[in-house]
Chains A and B, each alone.
Chain A
Amino acid sequence: MLDVSEIQTIDTDVMVVGAGGAGLRAAIECSAQGLKTGVISKSLLGKAHTVMAEGGMAAAMGNVDKRDNWKVHFRDTMRGGKFLNVWRMAELHARQAPDRVRELEEWGAVFDRTKEGLISQRNFGGHRYPRLAHVGDRTGLELIRSLQDHGIHQGIDFHMECAALELLKDGDRVAGVLAYWRETGRFVVFKSKAVILCTGGGGKAWPVTSNSWEYTGDGIAMAFDAGAELMDLEFTQFHPTGMVWPLSVRGILVTEGVRGDGGILKNNKGERFMFNYISERFAPETADTEAEAQRWLEGDKNARRPPELLTRDEVARAITAEVKAGRGSPHGGVFLDIASRRPAEFIKSRLPSMYHQFKELAEVDITKDPMEVGPTLHYFMGGIRVDADSQETTVPGLFAAGECAAGLHGANRLGGNSLSDLIVFGRLAGVGAAKYIEGLESSPKASDEQITGGVRRATEILNREKGANPYVLHGKLHEVMAKGVGIVRKQEELETAIEELEELKTEAKTLKAPGASQYNPGWHEALAMRSLLITSEAVTRAALMREESRGAHTRLDFPGESAEWVKYNVIIKRGADGAMEIEKRAKPEGPAALVAIANAKIEDLEAGKVGADV
């Protein structure tokens, strides 16, 4: 029998799980609030997927176009999210993002500048004005490095290559995290009064994804197991432009900045097809001729935006339709062309890493030839349900921020709203955790049984004589999700996927990782399968329940947005028997002032006829 006293134990006030932008910002805030703060990350510090964010972070600073302000940003976010966003989160985000960006500058970030010496801002899909603070096309790296270099001087304990297994609880409230060191395979118990999950999404359930190995839905699964509510997981964003060739890089992101800087989409007939896919909602604000789109590119402020800059869900569906109609590129995508639109020097200075990525991985010179691109699973809008102001989940002491939390983005996230999400809500989670801890009368304590149970579940995989290969099982999951829960969905396929997921869950009970526990990727893969399967099941069940097409969730059998369904969230939680309980729950109505802004004509909002009182 395992003796708990032999397991390494670290005491702290708050544990942050994940060291991407949200985790680092949350930890910095916790530390500033006087809390003893620990951070664990599966990778080394500074390697989280935040580094892959390219285009920028959205904040209505109005440095490039003075007409911009938080209300326009809020309106764009709600419309991009097809009105399923949590009103208060969209408001907080739009209001606070500018201060968070300026704060990064105070911590050493070096953004690209305007001629006046201010932080430059670029155009992006769904944002009415140039709004994305950026550094070339490596903004995520700048964000994570700035937080990292600031954070290491804040007295935070960083534990690298340490992966969380389970949340520990004392009664209803959270009591810490059970984790293991990847290097040695040894277990460690972090006893803490609060836990902040900043674990990102679960893109690795799909074969074509921009996500790295880390994105296995760990936070979503751990929160589910701990009894927290999940929300709106059916909304999985397929970014319209991932690389499609060579096969080995299929899915790697091609920044929306290419289109923001003038890139256009063409089919194999050379047609600029996005003009055929302008939806009613965006028609008044989108150019309907190439001539007008060209004037916009040349800086005419009265010209409307080109249709390539429609929201990601719309562009991804258009590309899928073109390919399906036989008008795709040789490797099953479409063409993204900036070479014919901008001089080579402009492209190299604005999009340096895209230039290198294509040159080195696909042998394509994007200053001369078009790129081949297609949709790639990129982002989870849904996730753990949180309180908008404190980021607390429905489990006391458990908080969530960033991609693993639901609410800000509704049914579809605008590009650039993720990096700003991380710093706005990372900070609020830190404030929320501090308030929670201040109100605690006694420290929570996890039972020994929880710890030994978690350790046993993890080590069984190593100790089995023989069993299923974790990589093979992961491959099977890819097939199920690609076939049944892709960019367009329908009832029978989703039902089949649920059945197949049940089979995979059974098979997962027999996983075997050969070798010892020391830095053993096969074992790590097997442990991640548990999170992936819970996350995949939640996405699939939610997708089956929502009988409409909204944002990133498209149902062939229920085309179009339903006036009824916008009033509901899909909530999932663990039932008494461990099975998933799913509920269609009424979504709280927004405050009248915010509803008015979101629904206002842009002219009325800008003239102050609407929203002047907020």
Chain B
Amino acid sequence: MAKRSFRVWRGDAKGGEFETFEVEVDSGMVVLDVLHRIQERNANDLAIRWNCKAGKCGSCSMEINGKPRLSCMTRMNIFEEHETITVQPLKTFPVIKDLVTDVSWNYRQNKRIRRFKPKAPEADGTRRMYQEDVERSQEFRKCIECYLCQNVCHVLRDRDGKNDFVGPRFMIRVASLEMHPLDTEDRIPELRKEYGSSLCNITRCCTEVCPEHIGITDNGIIPMKERVVDRYFDPIAMLGRKLFGIRKRTKSQAEGGEP
């Protein structure tokens, strides 16, 4: 057991400041454990959002020594012995109180995305899909909605682009639907015009912070950007549309043809 210094941001929408706590830390503890100890012993009203404590629900996101992390998965032994640990709320979203931010904007983005629209079942009532075909979509479905990627996205964080870009979380949500073998909906027009796919300039910060190690940029965002480019900026296709009235490519053709 050792005493550690924790600087914790306390305050609300009107403002706040760091408060320092000296806390006993036991071996094996994670940052969230220490915050709970502060809550129990020093500050009963310290606001923290958390649930599963096992990296599966994505509730306890915060910035720890400047890095966005899940506090339940941040072990104390990654810090130097005498290092002061500074904990503050996610910067990209408005503070409610202490370490809790208002992430409701994210829920509104999800609702804008057109829902899953499956093709009809086969004659025997089942919908066959093969493991190799579902794996791309499954990768994005691992997302625990911790919003760490949203928090570090330059468009959202530094340029306050919340009106123009849905952010990496919802780019891969769109990708999970577009790459779903059964889905028949087309979201490419919205991706370009409403979700702001062109605003991402592929700095990969989102991918780096993802606790689920999802290939957000390479496997999700870039393929989505490519589909937009193929649809709207492919000169041969554009010419074809103009001269012969060929309709824009449908999703299933872009997928390379499905039965």
Contacts and interface: CB of A to CB of B under 8 A. Distances in A.
B45 A51 contact: no
A52 B54 contact: yes
A106 B127 CA distance: 9
Contact of B55 (A116, A152, A360): A360
B134 A519 contact: no
B116 A471 contact: no
A519 B180 contact: no
B46 interface: yes
B51 A212 contact: yes
Contacts of B96: 183, 518-519
B134 A113 contact: yes
A357 interface: yes
Contact of B53 (A245, A247, A252, A523): A252
A246 B73 CA distance: 13
Which DSSP category, helix, strand, loop or mixed, fits chain B's interface? loop
Interface in B2-41: 12, 26-30, 33, 39-40
B59 interface: yes
Contact of B127 (A105, A116, A246, A249): A105
B98 interface: yes
Contacts of A118: 126, 128
B56 A141 contact: yes
A96 to B, nearest CB: 16
Interface in A105-139: 105-108, 110, 112-113, 116-118, 135-136, 138
B73 A361 contact: yes
B58 interface: yes
Contact of A246 (B29, B53, B138, B180): B29
B97 A519 contact: yes
B28 A521 contact: no
Contacts of A56: none
Contact of B47 (A117, A145, A248, A521): A521
B100 interface: yes
A135 B138 contact: yes
Most A Cβ at <10 Å: residue of B54, B115, B141: B54
A346 interface: no
| Interface range on chain A (Cβ under 8 Å from partner) | 35 or more
Interface string A208-231: 000011100000000000000000
Nearest to B138: A110
Interface residues of B, number: 58
B131 A112 contact: yes
B141 A248 contact: no
Interface stretch (A38-46, A316-324, A598-606): A38-46
B144 A248 contact: no
B51 A249 contact: no
B52 A518 contact: no
A121 to B, nearest CB: 14
A515 interface: yes
B50 interface: yes
B51 A521 contact: no
B177 A108 contact: yes
A246 B26 CA distance: 9
Given A45-B107, A141-B56, A513-B44, A149 B39 contact: no
B134 A110 contact: yes
Contacts of B163: none
B110 interface: yes
A396 interface: no
A49 B144 CA distance: 13
B91 interface: no
Contacts of A105: 118, 127, 182
Given A110-B141, A249-B54, A149 B110 contact: yes
A404 B135 CA distance: 35
Interface in B97-127: 97-98, 100, 102-104, 107, 110-111, 115-116, 118, 125-127
Interface string B114-158: 011010000001111111001001100110110000000000000
Nearest to B103: A44
B54 A248 contact: no
B128 A52 contact: no
Nearest to B77: A363
Interface in B55-113: 55-59, 73, 75, 96-98, 100, 102-104, 107, 110-111
A141 B141 CA distance: 9
Given A248-B26, A470-B44, A113 B129 contact: yes
Contact of B45 (A48, A102, A356, A522): A522
Given A113-B131, A138-B142, A43 B59 contact: yes
B18 to A, nearest CB: 18
B104 A160 contact: yes
B110 A152 contact: yes
A36 interface: no
B12 to A, nearest CB: 7
A281 interface: no
Nearest to A525: B44
B221 interface: no
B209 interface: no
A353 B145 CA distance: 16
B45 A49 contact: no
A469 interface: yes
Contacts of B103: 44
A222 to B, nearest CB: 21
Nearest to A138: B142
Given A212-B52, A248-B30, A44 B116 contact: no
B216 interface: no
B166 interface: no
A565 B213 CA distance: 51
A152 B141 contact: no
Given A160-B104, A519-B97, A138 B45 contact: no
Contact of B75 (A43, A141, A360, A514): A360
A206 B130 CA distance: 43
A361 B54 contact: yes
Contacts of B27: 246
B48 interface: yes
Given A49-B52, A361-B75, A117 B129 contact: yes
A102 to B, nearest CB: 8
A522 B44 contact: yes
Nearest to A46: B145
B39 A212 contact: no
A149 B44 contact: no
Contacts of A249: 28, 30, 53-54
Contacts of B51: 43, 47-49, 51, 212-214
B39 A107 contact: no
B195 to A, nearest CB: 16
Contacts of B49: 43-44
A150 interface: yes
Contact of B40 (A113, A138, A471): A471
Given A160-B104, A521-B47, 16 more contacts: A47-B57, A47-B58, A102-B125, A106-B127, A108-B115, A108-B118, A110-B129, A112-B134, A118-B128, A145-B141, A149-B116, A153-B111, A248-B26, A249-B30, A360-B55, A519-B47
Which 10 A/B pairs are nearest by Cβ-Cβ distance? Answer: A246-B28, A522-B44, A515-B45, A117-B128, A108-B116, A519-B97, A471-B40, A519-B47, A248-B33, A113-B131
Interface of A: 43-49, 51-52, 102, 105-108, 110, 112-113, 116-118, 135-136, 138, 141-142, 145, 149-150, 152-153, 160, 183, 212-214, 245-249, 252-253, 353, 356-357, 360-362, 469-472, 513-516, 518-523, 525
8 contacts: A44-B107, A108-B177, A117-B129, A136-B138, A248-B26, A513-B45, A518-B12, A519-B97
